[in-house]
Structure 1
Amino acid sequence: MSATLSLAWKSARNRKVTAILSILTVAISVILLLGVERIRTQAKSSFANTISGTDLIVGGRSGQVNLLLYSVFRIGNATNNIDWKSYQEFSQHRSVKWAIPISLGDSHKGFRVMGTNHSYFEHYRYGQKQNLVFTKGREFQQLFETVIGAEVAKELGYQIGSEIIIAHGISDVGFSRHDNLPFKVVGILAPTGTPVDKTVHVSLEAIEAIHVGWESGANLGNTPDAQQLQNRDFQPKQITAMMLGLKSKIQTFALQRQINTYTKEPLSAILPGVALHELWGMMSVAEQALMAVSAFVVIAGLLGMLSSLLTSLQERRREMAILRAMGARPRHVFSLLILEASSLTFIGILLGTFSLYWLLFVAAPFIQQSYGINLSVITLSNYELSLLALVQLAGTVIGFIPALRAYKQSLSDGMTIRI
């Protein structure tokens, strides 16, 4: 076996350009195959880790995916708001342990602004029930104070004490900005890999204060200044959604049914885990399409290697004939071609795997910053190892085709073969 391996290595060295191209073809195929799988699993994990420990999310009557998207992922807008009295009623429900109110609708330079209260920093969990941590500063306490996510601070270069201007609505344009009511940054949250990193957090009272004089959706020109607003007491009239944590999981479905049949206003209560599963199910078509594309690329790569082996085989008939004259049996020639194909595939797999890890190391910060997906540089999973084993098996099987041809030719070719 060692002699055959040594001979295969020397044969590959004599055709190093063809061998290198075959290895690169397999490597690129492996990079795409494992890359798609890694992004798929990490994206799914990032979605699942966005919210943890919340039993119910309540919003205006709508589909559960839409409610999940705007309340947790800050994507889209609510169909209806929730009356503050409804929030108070359910936050004080005997089954509810804690409640987090959320008010959305404003923005700052492309980042969503969220109004909330102390419960958010105390009870909101992500990942494996991890709580929010401040890298700098503290929670907001005064009316015009704000806490920003890690990505907001990084991209806009904000520090503790920086002043920001919030814009009315999603489009941050000049005529929609609350220019006379700047907010002071008093806290910066640690990175979470979730939409929290891209959120500007203010108090619910601040949301009410900045919209005094904007009741019609535009500035009517009679907006009080910050000093005048500081002396007022504000209570929200409406919020966008609320997150509920219950005293017992057993009470979840009973409270969900009670909220969904609430007669005072149309509300929807969803289970985050179920909504996440439905959301991922909607994306499964794209997921399967990516896997199919990567599988076809692997097949194309292996066919490219087969083509190069068959092309070089015609040029190597004299080599095979010499080996037969020196005492090599047909099965030795057969084994040589299979071992060569298997070795090229194995080297391609190694190169592709190491290249993927290097790409992940380089691209992970950019992907997390741009898409919020945390690509961890972790060891290969059992499923990924099985994919690589299938590629190795396919590469070995591919070697049987030129090996069979070489086997047949070596039986009939002699030293006087004409090429």
Structure 2
Amino acid sequence: MNAIIRLAWQSLANRKTTALLTLLTIAISVTLLLGVEKIRTQAKSSFANTISGTDLIVGARSGQVNLLLYSVFRIGNATNNIDWASYQELSQHRSVNWTIPISLGDSHRGFRVIGTNHSYFEHYRYGQGQALKFNQGRPFENLFETVLGSEVAKKLGYQINDEIIIAHGLSDKAFNRHDNLPFTVVGILAPTGTPVDRSVHTSLAAIEAIHVGWESGARLGPTPEAEALNQIDFEPKQITAFFVGLKSRIQAFALQRQINTYNEEPLSAIMPGIALHELWGMMSLAEQALLVISGFVVIAGLLGMLTSILTSLNERRREMAILRAMGARPGHIFFLLISEATVLTTLGLVIGTGLLYLCLYIGQPILQNQFGLFIEINPLSTHEWYLLGLVQLAGFIVGVIPAIRAYQHSLSDGMTIKV
């Protein structure tokens, strides 16, 4: 058997150009197959780990996926705001343990600004119940202080005590910046692999303060300076949404129904886990389409190998006949062709897996910065090994077809072929 494998290797070496092209096709197809599978599973895991330990998310009346996207993932905008009086009433409900109010709408150089309070740093959880930690500094205490997510600080090069300017709305242009009210960086959070890393955190009072004189949505005339605003005790008029932690999860459905039928204003309360499940249900068609496409690419690569081996058979009939004349049995010829296909497939799997990890190493920061998707570089999962096993089996089956044809060639046919 070892002699046959060595012979198969030498045969491939003699046809190295064709073999290398075939090998490259298989390797790229395997990289695509594993890449789609890894991104699919890691994206689902990354989304699921974005928020943990929150029983309900409350916002203005809208679909639960939309509410989840803008409150947790900072994607899109709310249909409306929540009155501060409504928030205070619901936060004091007997079944509520803690709440985290958030106010969205402003930005800083492409990053979303979140107005909140100290409950955010105390109760917000991600992953498997992990709390937010500070790499440097502390939570905000004064009016014009801010805490940055790790990605904001890293990408923009901010350090403690640097000053930043917040812009009104999501487009950071000169005409809509609150440039007379700079914020001082007092804290930088540790990386979480979630949208927290790409957020700028300020107090709810600061959000109210910087919008004095902007009630119409634009700056009309001069606005108060920081010294004057620091003398005012600001209280929010509205917030965008709030997270709720309950004393007992058994009470979640009852409180959700009560919030959804709240008389003072139209509100929606969603359970993050159910909303995430609905989100993935909406994306399942695209997910399956990616898997099918990558599967067809693998099939195309294997068919290319089959074509290559079949095409070379006529050129190699004299070679097969000489092997037969030297004592090789038809079974040896059969296993020679299968060995060539198996060697090509195995090398394609190895190179394709190596290419995958190279692409992950290069693409990991790009995916995190551009799409907020954190892909862990970890060993292949059981399912991914199963996919590789299927590709290896398919390569073996593909090799059987030319092997049968070579097996059927007679010795005299091979010795009399015209070249």
What TM-score bracket applies, with the shorter chain setting the length? over 0.9
Partner of 1:231: 231
Residues 82, 238 of structure 2: 8 Å contact kept? yes
Q: Deviations over 1:63-105 (max 9, x none)?
A: 0001001101111111111111111111111111110000011
SS in 1 for 2:409: helix
The 3 A distance-change label for structure 1 pair 361 and 410 is farther
For residues 312-357 of structure 1, what are the alpha-carbon distances to aligned partners after superposition, in whole Å with 9 as ceiling and x for unaligned?
Answer: 1111100110111112121211111111111111111111112211
Shift, 1:398, TM fit: 0.7
| Code of the aligned partner of 2:225 | D
**2-side partners of 1:256 and 1:69: how far apart?**
19
Q: Does the CA contact (< 8 Å) of 1:324 and 1:410 recur in 2? A: no
The answer on 1:166 being equivalent to 2:176 is: no
Residue 410 of structure 1 and its aligned partner are, at CA, apart by 3.2
| 1:238 CA displacement | 0.7
Give the counterpart letter for 2:88 in structure 1. Answer: Q
Please say if 1:243 is aligned against 2:243.
Answer: yes
How far apart in 2 are the matches of 1:168 and 1:364?
31
Tell me how many residue pairs correspond in the alignment: 419
CA contact (8 A) 2:97 2:246 kept: yes
Distance 1:333 1:279 in 2: 54
In structure 1, the residue corresponding to 2:51 is in which secondary structure?
coil
What's the offset of the Cα at 1:358? Answer: 2.1
- Map of 1:85-234 to 2, 5 A cutoff? 85-234=85-234
CA distance in 1 between counterparts of 2:121 and 2:354 reads 41
* 2:144 and 2:182 in contact (8 A); partners too: yes
Question: What residue number does 1:310 align with?
Answer: 310
Q: Which moved more, 1:376-385 or 1:242-251?
A: 376-385
Q: Which residue does 2:76 correspond to in 1?
A: 76
The Cα of 1:399 is off from its aligned counterpart by: 0.7
Which residue of the partner structure matches residue 374 of structure 1?
374
| Structure 1 residue ranges, 4+ long, deviating more than 2 angstroms after superposition | 414-417
- The letter of the residue matching 2:151 is E
- In 2, Cα distance between equivalents of 1:211 and 1:415: 92
Mapping 1:274-285, distance limit 5 Å: 274-285=274-285
Q: Deviations over 1:264-294 (max 9, x none)?
A: 1110000001111111111112211211111
Is the Cα contact below 8 Å between 1:330 and 1:411 reproduced in 2?
Answer: no
The residue number in structure 1 matching 2:36 is 36
Is structure 2 residue 25 aligned with structure 1 residue 13? no
Give ranges in structure 1 of 5+ residues lacking alignment: none
CA apart distance, 1:414: 4.2
Q: 1:62 maps to what in 2? A: 62
SS at match of 2:347: helix
Offset of residue 371 of structure 1:
1.7
1:49-71 CA-to-partner distances (Å, cap 9, x unmatched) read 11111000000000000100110
CA contact (8 A) 1:146 1:183 kept: yes
Partner of residue 47, structure 1 = 47
Q: CA deviation at 1:223?
A: 1.8
- Give 1:416 deviation, angstroms: 3.1
Distance 2:410 2:316 in 1: 11
**TM-score, normalised with respect to structure 2:** 0.98
Amino acid at match of 2:359: L
State how far apart, in whole Å, the 2-side matches of 1:172 and 1:402 are.
63
Aligned partner of residue 242 in structure 1, secondary structure: strand
What is the alpha-carbon root mean square deviation over aligned residues? 1.2
Equivalent position of 1:3 in the other structure: 3
- Would the aligned equivalents of 1:168 and 1:177 in 2 still touch at CA under 8 Å? yes
Aligned to 2:252: 252
Question: Does the 8 Å contact 2:23/2:345 carry over to 1?
Answer: yes
Letter in 1 for 2:197: D
User: d(CA) in 2 for partners of 1:18 and 1:173?
Assistant: 56
Looking at structure 1, the residues matched to 391 and 214 of structure 2 have their Cα atoms a distance apart, in angstroms, of 62
For residues 152 and 7 of structure 1, the distance between their equivalents in structure 2, rounded to whole angstroms, comes to 58
The aligned residue for residue 267 of structure 2 is 267
CA contact (8 A) 1:23 1:344 kept: yes
**Is 2:325–2:411's contact at 8 Å kept on the other side of the alignment?**
no
State the partner residue of 2:408.
Answer: 408
Identify the range of structure 1 (249-258 vs 174-183) with the bigger mean alpha-carbon deviation. Answer: 174-183
1:404 is displaced (CA, Å) by 1.3
Alpha-carbon distance in structure 2 between the residues aligned to 1:308 and 1:75:
48
Which letter maps to 1:208? E
Code of the residue aligned with 2:175 in structure 1: it is F
Identity %: 73
Render the CA deviation track for 1:21-54: whole Å, top value 9, x for unaligned: 2211111110010011111111111111111110
- 1:148–1:414 CA distance, 2 compared to 1 (3 A): closer
Tell me the amino acid that sits aligned with residue 7 of structure 2.
L
Counterpart secondary structure, 1:75: coil
Q: What's 1:352 paired with?
A: 352
Change in 2 beyond 3 A, CA 1:317/1:101 = same
Task: Give distance in 1, aligned partners of 2:313 and 2:416.
Answer: 17
Query: C-alpha separation between the residues in 2 aligned to 1:207 and 1:81?
Result: 14
Q: Which amino acid aligns with 1:211?
A: H
CA distance in 2, matches of 1:51, 1:414: 69
Q: CA deviation at 1:393?
A: 0.9
1:51, 1:136 → 2: CA distance? 23
